[in-house]
């Protein structure tokens, strides 16, 4: 029995080498099978026109003078005028918020520009409007001249901005439409090439983009009420001979 030991060891070694070689061939065959797959890459597009459902508008106004209390009183008066203007046109108190007051003392600055008669104090106040009543904000943006008539001058901060926050309600439908469009394109390609369309090899939803519905040039999408949601799906379909 002891004399059989060396032969048994050699036999096991040969068997192990055979298994290793066989595994290598199986691996090569799987790789060749994967790389020989035929597939077509197609893109499907889906678009939907939507109206913004949230508006934000930051109003900024300033006052200047040498008497700090008087400058503050002017800001308070402007705040009351603006608030009355908004409330009278349908904005609610809950949709109005005052942000941090900014006070600048020019005399305290190391390098002060301007002449001797320049006002010492400058106070700036920002008022933020946040509402789902986007149509009202759009209209108010065209009526700010009424504030000028009452002595309130608003700084130019670009006007209201509009966003669409209900994307999740239409996202599944858009993805389905984009995927269906991609499949139609793949089926047409398969028919023209004499192949049969197989299943999905891989798919990429791509980026969902919300842009202005109308390209007016030089106007940002955020400043437009009407928008277009765009989805592009990239799908690889197998081709079967």
pLDDT at 28: 25
The residue out of 139, 163, 187 marking a domain boundary is 163
pLDDT, tens digit, for every residue of 122-174?
999 999 999 999 999 999 988 999 999 999 999 988 889 999 999 999 999 99
Is the pLDDT at 89 greater than 80? The verdict is: yes
Segment among 8-12, 33-37, 42-46, 107-111 with least mean pLDDT: 8-12
Q: Which residue has the higher pLDDT, 89 or 30?
A: 89
* Count of structural domains, the chain: 2
Please provide the average confidence, as pLDDT, over all residues in the chain: 83
Domain identity same for 141 and 46: no
* CA gap 179, 186 in Å, rounded: 11
159 within some domain: yes
pLDDT at 75: 98
Q: Which residue has the higher pLDDT, 170 or 2?
A: 170
pLDDT at 115: 56
The residue out of 163, 181, 212 marking a domain boundary is 163
CATH of the domain at 195: 3.30.110.170
pLDDT at 114: 57
192 within some domain: yes
* CA gap 38, 57 in Å, rounded: 54
Domain identity same for 64 and 141: yes
The residue out of 131, 163, 195 marking a domain boundary is 163
Domain identity same for 122 and 198: no
* CA gap 16, 119 in Å, rounded: 94
Domain identity same for 145 and 183: no
Is the pLDDT at 238 greater than 50? The verdict is: yes
Domain identity same for 80 and 138: yes
pLDDT at 11: 37
Three-point CA angle 96, 98, 100, nearest 5°: 160
pLDDT at 207: 83
Q: Which residue has the higher pLDDT, 221 or 110?
A: 221
Q: Residue 183 sits in which domain range?
A: 35-50+166-240
Is the pLDDT at 83 greater than 50? The verdict is: yes
Q: Which residue has the higher pLDDT, 216 or 33?
A: 216
17 within some domain: no
Within the chain, how many helices (H) and strands (E) appear?
5, 9
pLDDT at 158: 82
């Amino acid at each position: 029995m002891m004399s059989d030991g060396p032969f048994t060891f050699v036999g096991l070694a040969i068997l192990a080498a055979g298994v290793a070689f066989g595994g290598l061939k199986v691996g090569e065959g799987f790789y060749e099978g994967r790389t020989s797959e035929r597939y077509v890459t197609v893109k499907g597009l889906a678009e939907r026109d939507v109206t913004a459902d949230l508006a934000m508008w930051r109003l900024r106004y300033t006052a200047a003078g040498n008497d700090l209390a008087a400058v503050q009183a002017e800001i308070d008066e402007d705040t009351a005028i603006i608030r009355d203007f908004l409330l009278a046109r349908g904005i609610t108190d809950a949709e109005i918020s005052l942000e941090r007051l900014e006070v600048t003392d020019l005399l305290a600055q190391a390098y002060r520009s301007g002449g001797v008669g320049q006002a010492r104090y400058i106070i700036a106040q920002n008022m933020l409007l946040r509402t789902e009543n986007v149509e009202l904000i759009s209209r108010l943006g065209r009526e700010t001249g009424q504030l000028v008539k009452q002595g309130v001058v608003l700084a130019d901060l670009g006007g209201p901005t509009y966003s669409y926050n209900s994307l999740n309600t239409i996202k599944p439908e858009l993805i389905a439409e984009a995927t269906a469009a991609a499949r139609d394109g793949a089926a047409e390609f398969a028919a023209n090439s004499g192949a049969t369309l197989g299943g999905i090899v891989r798919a990429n939803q791509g980026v969902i983009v919300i842009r202005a519905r109308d390209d007016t040039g030089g106007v940002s999408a955020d400043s437009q009420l009407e928008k277009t949601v765009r989805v592009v799906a990239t799908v690889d379909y197998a081709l079967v001979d």
